[in-house]
């Protein structure tokens, strides 16, 4: 694909604006670590929520979705659509608790919930494990997507594309280290508007290239017959007799994945960069709204431009050895030359928004939860800001190295899902059951990693194979749950003063804290309840109703589309009524 002088000018303007945002927020970020990592805890919900969406919209996402569509049609997206229920639990049961906890990172939570050396070990262990290897794997697949895009658009080798990506990471690192989280948030907003606008434009031209929606549907029927074993590419629910989605695998998706598996951006109860955005909001109400806005945008509104292009790629490029590249091929062959510069800028925007967050979030673990906590506790704020910048550079180098050895984006997604299988339940219950202790979390993380790796290396199961994935999940979740529950009951509970301090600070409520609450009748819990559970159910209806309703309307199935959309909007109205009826008291107190 040839880029014109105008295309290069568009790219240059994009980079100048991004750098300008970083320079604008430099002075503010340099004031303190709190400003650098949490924007002074004064961010409005719409900005924090949009930043969450922008972070999960990386250069890898359209390519991975195209790969999923190539294998299983629209229904292939159940790999990540199944996390909706977990997202709604985070919104209505955990978002306000995270904001109330007042921590800087989610791993700092360990030392307000637990005590002593086990808590300190857990904090350091999670910070190093999540901040470096897991974080760099995530950045590695994001980098890999950008490498694939550059290889196709510029016609260069993987090594050359990787060097270009390293340059982009260096620029992103510069912006992130200059501006802290404020710069990341504002840049995310700017980059998300560009990226979402251009993928929508590409979807319009892609559908036009095959003659419109009706022609696309007719041609996909022919592709389905040739593919065999997949079912209809246009089905929203998978054909459970297909090779790519046996009933066992689908049942694992909808019954286990959403609550039992740790995955970046979909952590049970919230965590990672999602939790960081909750911490930086103005209050508990903004924390809840930010997380709700993120889930609606993430699942309901954003996927369809990617899915449409993925469907078109099935028609135009059947039998690709790497179906993830179909998205880029549609862009190269069918986007007008006048828009190519903007499209490349959109990919770079999606890439840089995610990398900026991952760098800032990972550095916060390394500095706040390791360096400042265990190595140097009495330095100046300026010193910690400079160490944060050095940590950002280190993560940049490690992630680039990881990228060189990766081949599949969706494969890396699945690998990370099975590695975290079984840890979700302890992450949920630690807020609502006093008996959970630090060793519960440590044992869950170790058991999940050991069992999942043993089943793949020793047991010969493949996480990229549907049945292999399902059995890895079932066995890993079962063993991990038994291990951490056994460890919990065989080890001492946390000290009473620690439990009382946590209950006073967070006020989680529920039957699991009754033993502690009896001695503290002056504390009024505010951690959920039946109305919040109803909001969770309505939230699921809101997400799936709008997701499937919009999809049906796009595919010209107007009647069922309007009905599904009405159900989703009605569920949203019930949530609004409930929160308004309670005067937001259950959220803001």
Q: Does the pLDDT at position 585 exceed 80?
A: no
- Check residue 484 and give its pLDDT: 95
Task: Let me know: does 104 contact 364? Beta carbons within 8 Å.
Answer: yes
Q: Show me where the domains of the chain are located.
A: 5-20+49-494, 531-589
Give the Cα separation of 156 and 3 in Å (integer). Answer: 14
The CATH number of 5-20+49-494 is 1.20.1730.10
Give the Cα separation of 180 and 27 in Å (integer). Answer: 10
Tokens 């390394």 belong to residue: 366
Q: Which comes out higher in pLDDT, residue 186 or 117?
A: 117
Q: Which comes out higher in pLDDT, residue 542 or 181?
A: 542
Q: Does the pLDDT at position 219 exceed 50?
A: yes
18: Cβ–Cβ under 8 A, 6 or more apart, which residues?
171, 175, 187, 190, 191, 352
- What are the tens digits of pLDDT across the range 112-162? 999 999 999 999 988 888 888 888 878 887 888 788 888 887 788 878 888
- Check residue 86 and give its pLDDT: 92
Residue 43, classed as helix, strand or coil, is strand
- What are the tens digits of pLDDT across the range 396-406? 788 777 776 66
CA-based torsion, 52, 56, 62, 67: positive or negative = negative
Task: Let me know: does 83 contact 342? Beta carbons within 8 Å.
Answer: no
- What are the tens digits of pLDDT across the range 24-39? 776 665 666 666 666 7
Return the HEC string of 458-491: CCCCCCCCHHHHHHHHHHHHHHHHHHHHHHHHHC
Tokens 């400042």 belong to residue: 372
Q: Tell me the mean pLDDT in the region 453-482.
A: 85
Minimal CA–CA distance to 291: which of 310, 261, 315, 266?
A: 266
Range picked from 2-16, 65-79, 481-495 for highest mean pLDDT: 481-495
Give the Cα separation of 585 and 587 in Å (integer). Answer: 5
Please give the angle made by the CA atoms of 290, 295 and 296, to the nearest 5 degrees: 100
- What are the tens digits of pLDDT across the range 428-445? 999 999 999 999 999 998
Lowest mean pLDDT among 5-9, 322-326, 496-500, 550-554: 5-9
Average pLDDT, the chain: 84
Task: Let me know: does 481 contact 422? Beta carbons within 8 Å.
Answer: yes
Q: Does the pLDDT at position 587 exceed 60?
A: no
Q: Which comes out higher in pLDDT, residue 37 or 312?
A: 312
Q: Does the pLDDT at position 77 exceed 80?
A: yes
- Check residue 253 and give its pLDDT: 85
With bands split at pLDDT 50, 70 and 90, how would you rate the model's confidence at 250?
confident
């Amino acid at each position: 694909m040839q880029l014109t002088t105008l295309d290069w000018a568009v790219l240059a303007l994009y980079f100048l604006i991004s750098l300008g945002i970083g320079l604008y927020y430099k002075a503010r970020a340099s004031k303190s670590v709190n400003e650098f990592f949490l924007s002074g805890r004064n961010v409005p919900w719409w900005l924090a929520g949009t930043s969450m969406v922008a972070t999960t919209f990386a250069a890898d996402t359209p390519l991975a979705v195209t790969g999923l569509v190539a294998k299983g049609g629209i229904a292939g997206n159940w790999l990540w659509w199944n996390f909706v229920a977990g997202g709604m639990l985070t919104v209505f049961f955990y978002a306000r608790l995270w904001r109330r906890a007042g921590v800087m990172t989610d791993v700092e939570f360990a030392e307000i919930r637990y005590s002593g050396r086990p808590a300190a070990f857990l904090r350091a262990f999670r910070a190093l494990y999540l901040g470096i290897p897991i974080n760099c794997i995530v950045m590695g697949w994001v980098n890999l997507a950008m490498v694939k895009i550059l290889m196709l658009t510029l016609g260069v080798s993987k090594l050359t594309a990787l060097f270009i990506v390293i340059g982009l990471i260096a620029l992103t690192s510069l912006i992130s280290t200059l501006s802290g989280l404020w710069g990341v948030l504002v840049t995310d907003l700017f980059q998300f508007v560009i990226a979402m606008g251009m993928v929508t434009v590409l979807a319009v031209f892609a559908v036009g290239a095959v003659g419109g929606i009706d022609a696309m549907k007719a041609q996909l029927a022919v592709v389905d017959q040739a593919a065999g074993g997949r079912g209809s590419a246009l089905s929203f629910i998978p054909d459970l007799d297909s090779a790519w989605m046996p009933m066992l695998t689908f049942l694992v998706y909808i019954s286990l994945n959403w609550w039992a598996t740790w995955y970046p951006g979909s952590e049970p109860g919230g965590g990672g960069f999602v939790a960081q955005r909750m911490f930086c909001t103005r209050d508990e109400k903004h924390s809840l709204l930010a997380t709700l806005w993120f889930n609606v945008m993430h699942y309901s509104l954003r996927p369809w431009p990617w899915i449409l292009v993925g469907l078109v790629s099935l028609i135009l490029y059947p039998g690709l050895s790497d179906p993830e590249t179909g998205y880029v091929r549609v862009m190269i062959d069918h986007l007008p030359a006048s828009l190519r510069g903007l499209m490349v800028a959109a990919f770079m925007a999606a890439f840089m928004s995610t990398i900026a967050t991952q760098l800032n979030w990972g550095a916060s673990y390394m500095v706040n939860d390791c360096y400042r906590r265990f190595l140097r506790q009495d330095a100046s704020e300026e010193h910690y800001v400079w160490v944060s910048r050095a940590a950002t550079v280190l993560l940049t180098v490690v992630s680039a190295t990881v990228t060189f050895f990766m081949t599949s984006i969706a494969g890396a997604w699945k690998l990370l899902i099975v590695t975290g299988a079984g840890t979700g339940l302890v992450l949920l219950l630690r807020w609502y059951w006093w008996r959970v202790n630090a060793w519960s979390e440590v044992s869950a993380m170790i058991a999940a990693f050991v069992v999942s790796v043993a089943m793949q290396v020793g047991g010969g199961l493949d996480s990229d194979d549907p049945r292999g994935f399902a059995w890895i999940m079932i066995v890993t979740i079962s063993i991990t749950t038994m291990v951490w529950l056994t460890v919990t009951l065989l080890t001492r509970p946390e000290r009473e003063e620690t439990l009382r301090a946590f209950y006073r600070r967070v006020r989680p409520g529920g039957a699991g804290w009754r033993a502690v609450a009896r001695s503290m009748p002056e504390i009024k819990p505010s951690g959920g309840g039946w109305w919040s559970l109803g909001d969770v159910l309505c939230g699921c209806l809101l997400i799936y109703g709008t997701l499937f309703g919009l999809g049906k309307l796009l595919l010209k199935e107007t009647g069922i589309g309007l009905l599904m959309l009405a159900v989703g909007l009605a569920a949203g109205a019930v949530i609004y009524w409930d929160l308004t009826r309670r005067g937001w008291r259950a959220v803001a107190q």
